[in-house]
Amino acid sequence: MMQADLIVIGAGPAGAAAALAASEAGLLVVLLDEDASPGGQVYRAPPAGLSVAPDTRGADERAGDALREAVAASAVVWKGGARVWSISGAFRVDAVTAAGSESFTAPRLVAATGAHERLVPFPGWTTPGVIGLAAATILLKSQGMVPGRRTVVAGCGPLLAAVAAKIVAGGGAVAAIIDLSGPGDWLKALPAMASRPDLLRQGLGWALKLGAACVPVLFRHTVTAVSGGEACEAVTVAPVDAEGRPTGGRSRVFAADALAIGHGLVPGSEIPKLLRAEHRFEPEAGGWAPVRDAFGRCSVAGLYTVGDGAAVAGAEPARLSGRLAGLAAAQDAGRLPAHVSAREAGEARAALDKALVFAGAINRLMRARPAMVEEIAKDTVICRCEDVRRGEIEAAISAGAREINQLKHFTRCGMGPCQGRMCGETAATLLARHVGSREAAGYWTGRPPLRPVPLADLLGEFDYGDIPVPNPAPL
């Protein structure tokens, strides 16, 4: 068992910044991540064996390299390929690593586990070939692959253009971009987006690339069905209103072997939930978010939460919120003079407030649209793991399920191996229609294991003969 001053879980921009700030202040910091290298989703390193040619490396690749160099040059103890499955007490972290089962303890813990994608179900969304927008980004950026020979890119937010442009640049075909938002929504976002000229420029670059490739863009449209048995063959789309509700307008069908789709991001705050930190439903943060102060301190003493895992805001706010939590952890440990911490935190805070203007505009484009959930057909699967359909969920609600965990007991929705990450938002939104609010519907109780781990990995190699059996006491 390794004893540290601070454990940071998640090595994306938020977690890495927290670890570096605390380490610079003199804390012994352990940084864990499931991936082999630091970077997280946005700055994910190409895996060993695959390399990106220097002339095609963009700003994200360079920022990722800088992050990895900073972690490598620091005193932070890096634990890559670590699957954290349990956190208990204040705080003991159990992980499965290449070395087997490893445990770490520290009086302070930063949870920086990022967001996961929201996807409102539609008929055929479980068909192979239908993937998340974030999944498409991973394929394109860290595997050097396009999702299919001909891909429909759908959902909302800037990832639509990013993914479509990367597919085109990679030599793939984009059948169409299906955007829930309308041109007016994008225009409204423009002034706030202008606060980050670099990102705006990047966005315009994507748009130009797509225009040059003559990719059709359907604004105020949504995917209503995917057909194909063993694999995606065709994607049906239809016009919607501002809330994502079909207007009854003409639908269109695009032949495609892949659909990359995402309806926004939800904070992945499993760790604060597991540790019973207080949460609050914050639609502007993406959903249920841990209650936190300006430094990421949670209601549980010693627990901090930062980045998209606390409130969805993107890479730069994640880095700055991470830095604030790292400084706070060092100060709370009595290792950073208050005046130093106040000065450095003030700078980070000011930069964060500025970065949040851009994030706010993007979040409005990527907001949840409960009307889409209302429109889900009765026989559409909500919970992919357990194949629970909307009709079964409605039946359970009629039978008396008043809270999301009760609904889970009634239906097994959320009980499968993804542990409710994929269906939680939809199930809670359906329940909220009957119980009055998302607050009343609640959220899944956090339970270990945080990720499924094979029992063999926990036990390691052993023989029954190795188990010490004390000699019986003499009679």
Partner 1 sequence: MTALRIADGFRRGAAVTFDVDGVAVVGHRGETLAAALLAAGFARLRHSPRDFSPRGAYCFMGACQECVVQVGGVLRQSCQVPVEDGLVVGLKGSL
Please report, as ranges, the residues that interact with partner 1 according to CB under 8 A.
34, 41, 46-53, 55-56, 116-117, 126-132, 134-135, 138-140, 143-149, 170-172, 229-232, 257, 268, 381, 384-387, 416-418, 421-422, 451-452, 454, 456
Name the H helices within 183-333: 183-193, 197-212, 270-274, 315-332
Q: Look at phi and psi of residue 26 and say left if phi exceeds 0, alpha if psi is from -120 to 50, else beta.
A: left
Q: CA Rg, the chain, in Å?
A: 23
Where do we find the tokens 């008043």?
402
Minimum gap (Å) between residue 225 Cβ and partner 1: 15
* Residues contacting residue 440 through CB under 8 Å, at least 6 positions apart: 402, 403, 432
Min dist CB 41 to partner 1, Å, is 7
- Closer of 32 and 131 to partner 1 (Cβ): 131
What tokens were used for 106? 């520290």
Least CB distance from residue 246 to partner 1, whole Å?
A: 24
Residue closer to partner 1 (CB basis): 229 or 468: 229
* Smallest separation, CB 54 to partner 1 (Å): 10
Q: Which is nearer to partner 1, 193 or 407 (CB)?
A: 407
The Cα–Cα gap between 144 and 238 comes to 31
Question: Is the CB of 126 or the CB of 437 nearer to partner 1?
Answer: 126
CB of 402 to partner 1, least distance (A): 25
In the complex with partner 1, which residue's Cβ is closer, 50 or 255?
50
**CB-neighbour burial class of residue 247 (10 A; exposed 0-12, middle 13-18, buried 19+):** exposed
Residues comprising the chain, all counted: 475
Element (H, E) at 344: helix 338-365
- For the bound state, the minimum distance from the C-beta of residue 328 to partner 1, rounded and expressed in Å, comes to 28
d(CA 421, CA 433): 20
Give the SS3 label for residue 135.
helix
Rounded CA gap, 439 and 208, in Å? 43
Q: Are 88 and 105 in contact (CB under 8 A)?
A: no
3-class secondary structure, 14? helix
Residue among 172 and 302 whose Cβ is closer to partner 1: 172
349-to-19, 193, 276, 295 alpha-carbon distances in Å: 17, 19, 27, 9
User: Which residues, in sequence order, are CB contacts of 16 under 8 Å at separation 6+?
Assistant: 31, 38, 39, 40, 67, 70, 71, 319, 322
Q: N- to C-terminal Cα distance for the chain?
A: 39
Give least dist CB 436 to partner 1, A: 30
* CA–CA dist 131, 125 (Å, integer): 9
CA 328 to chain centre: 24
Least Cβ distance, residue 27 to partner 1 (angstroms): 28
What is the nearest approach in angstroms of partner 1 to the Cβ of residue 132? 5
Q: How far is the CB of 71 from partner 1 (least distance, A)?
A: 20
Tell me how far CA of residue 459 lies from CA of 91, 127, 454, in angstroms. Answer: 22, 36, 9
Residue closer to partner 1 (CB basis): 209 or 335? 209
| Residue with Cβ nearer partner 1 (140 or 285) | 140
Q: Based on CB atoms, which residue is closest to partner 1, 171 or 468?
A: 171
DSSP 312: -
CB-nearer residue toward partner 1: 107 or 449:
449
Which is closer to partner 1, CB of 45 or CB of 177?
A: 45
Residues 6+ apart with CB under 8 A from 327: 21, 22, 25, 295, 336, 341, 344, 345, 348
To partner 1, the closest distance from the beta carbon of 356 in angstroms equals 25
HSE at residue 366, side-chain half, CA atoms within 13 A, is: 29
